[in-house]
Amino acid sequence: MNEPTGDALTFGVEEEFFVVDRRGQLSQAGDDVVDAAEAAGDDQGELQHELTRSQAEAATDVCRTHGEALRQLRGLRGELDRAARRRGCRLLPAASPLLFEENPPVITPNPRYERMAEHFGATARTSLTCGCHVHVAIPDKEAGVQVLNHVRPWLPALLTVTANSAISDGYDTGYCSWRYQQWSRWPSAGPPPRFASLDEYESIVDAWLRAGSILDRGMIYWDVRLSDRQPTLEFRIADVAATPEDAVLLAVLARGLVATALAGDAPLPHLPNEVLRAQLWRASREGVTGCCPHPKSGDLEPSKVVLDALVDLTAPALAAAGDLDFAREGLARLATEGGGADRQRRRFAERNRGEDVVDLLAGE
C-alpha cells in the first residue's frame, strides 16, 4: 500500500441501516438498538437516531486514512448488530426494505421528524431508504461550490459503486439502486445544478425555504451539497453499502475527486442538469456491472471503464493520500464479484425469496 502524506484531506462516512426482526420485516426497535449500542460501545464514531424507528445511523469520526475509516465502520456496524441481536433483531445494510410491509413505518418521536412527516405526508412515510454519505474537507464554501461543479459529471459513476437496492418489497425492481428512484421524490433531491457562485447556491436554498419545499437547511438533499454543520462537501449520492469495504471505496474516490478539483484540474464541459438526471437514471438501473454514461463523451461505457477513468483522473491525489492501491483493488473486486445489487439479485434468483436476501446481507 502507498503511504499517505500528512496533508491529505480529512473525511468521514455516515451509514444508515434498517433494523429488522428475525424474518426480515421492519422492526420498531431502532431507537432502542442505537441507545444500547451507544452505552456498550467504545468512543470511536457516533451512533444516531433516524427518521423512522426502523432505522439506525452510524458516523465515523474525522478520518485521514482509508484504514482508519474501515476500522471504524466495521466497529460501528458490529456494535449496532450486537445490540440488535440482543433484542431479537438484525441489522440490515440494504438501501430499500427487502420485504413487503403492510403498514407504513413509525416516525421517530422527534419534533423535527414529526414535523417533516406532517408536512410532506406520504413522501416522508413511503420514501424509506438507507444511504451512505461521505464528507470531504474543503477550505471554505466558495471553494466548495467550485469543487461541486467539478464533481457533478462523476456522480453517476459514484452511484454505481455502492448500488445495493435491487430487491425491494419482495421483488426484483429491475434497478441496481432502486433507492435512488425512491429518494428522488423529495422536492430538494437529485443532482445539483452548476452554480455560478455561492450566492446562486444560497439563493436557491432561500427560495426553497420560502416555498416550504424544505423546512430547514438539513433538508438540502442534493446528491452533493455543502454541509451546514462541518466545513465539508457532502456526497449523498450513494446507497448504504453492502460491506464496509465498498463504503470506504466510495469515500476514497470522493476524496480523490475533491482533491483533484482543488488542485486545479480543468473542469469538464458544462453538463445540463436535464442530461445529468438522465445519466443518473441509467446508472441507478445498471450499477457497477452494467453500463454508465462517460462524463467526457456522454456515451454509454461499461461502468468498469468509467470508474477506471475516474481512478486515472484522480491517481495523483489517490496516491498522495495512500489510496491508489486500495481503490484499484476495490474496483477490481467489484468487476469480478459484482456489487451489493448483484449479490442481492443472485441470491433472490435462487428461490425468489426476499428472506434469503435478508439472510445474506445480515450475515447469516
Q: What is the largest CA-CA distance in the chain?
A: 54
**9 three-class SS:** coil
Q: Is residue 278 a contact partner of residue 201, using CB atoms and an 8 Å limit?
A: no
- Over residues 120-133, the mean pLDDT reads 94
pLDDT of residue 39: 87
> Which percentage of the chain shows pLDDT scores above 90?
91
Q: Does residue 12 sit within a domain?
A: no
pLDDT of residue 3: 39
pLDDT of residue 170: 97
Q: Does residue 10 sit within a domain?
A: no
Q: Which of 7, 143, 139, 133 is nearest to 60 (CA)?
A: 133
Q: Distance from first CA to last CA of the chain, Å, rounded? A: 31
> Which percentage of the chain shows pLDDT scores above 70?
98
Please report which confidence band the pLDDT of residue 171 belongs to, taking 50, 70 and 90 as the band edges. very high
Q: Does residue 51 sit within a domain?
A: no
Please report which confidence band the pLDDT of residue 41 belongs to, taking 50, 70 and 90 as the band edges. confident
Q: Does residue 37 sit within a domain?
A: no
Task: Please list the alpha-helical segments (H only) found in 190-323.
Answer: 198-211, 244-262, 273-286, 303-321
Q: Is residue 325 a contact partner of residue 311, using CB atoms and an 8 Å limit?
A: no
Q: Does residue 30 sit within a domain?
A: no
The CATH number of the domain holding residue 237 is 3.30.590.20
Q: Does residue 156 sit within a domain?
A: yes
Q: Does residue 141 sit within a domain?
A: yes
Please report which confidence band the pLDDT of residue 1 belongs to, taking 50, 70 and 90 as the band edges. very low
The torsion of the CA quartet 183, 185, 189, 195, rounded to 10 degrees, works out to 140
**24 three-class SS:** coil
**What is the number of alpha carbons within 13 Å of residue 253 lying toward its C-beta?**
32
Contacts of 227 (CB under 8 A, 6+ apart): 135, 233, 234
* Kind plus residue range of the DSSP H or E element containing 36: helix 30-40
- Give tens-digit pLDDT for 47-85: 999 999 999 999 999 999 999 999 999 999 999 999 999
Kindly write down the DSSP assignment for every residue of 305-338, as one continuous string.
Answer: HHHHHHHHHHHHHHHHHT-HHHHHHHHHHHHHH-
| DSSP at 222 | B
Q: Does residue 50 sit within a domain?
A: no
Number of domains in the chain: 1
| DSSP at 34 | H
Domain extent for 337: 97-361
Contacts of 118 (CB under 8 A, 6+ apart): none
User: Which three three-digit cell numbers place residue 54?
Assistant: 426502523
pLDDT of residue 2: 38
Is the pTM of the predicted complex or chain greater than 0.85?
yes
pLDDT of residue 364: 55
User: Which three three-digit cell numbers place residue 256?
Assistant: 480523490
Average pLDDT of the residues of the chain: 95
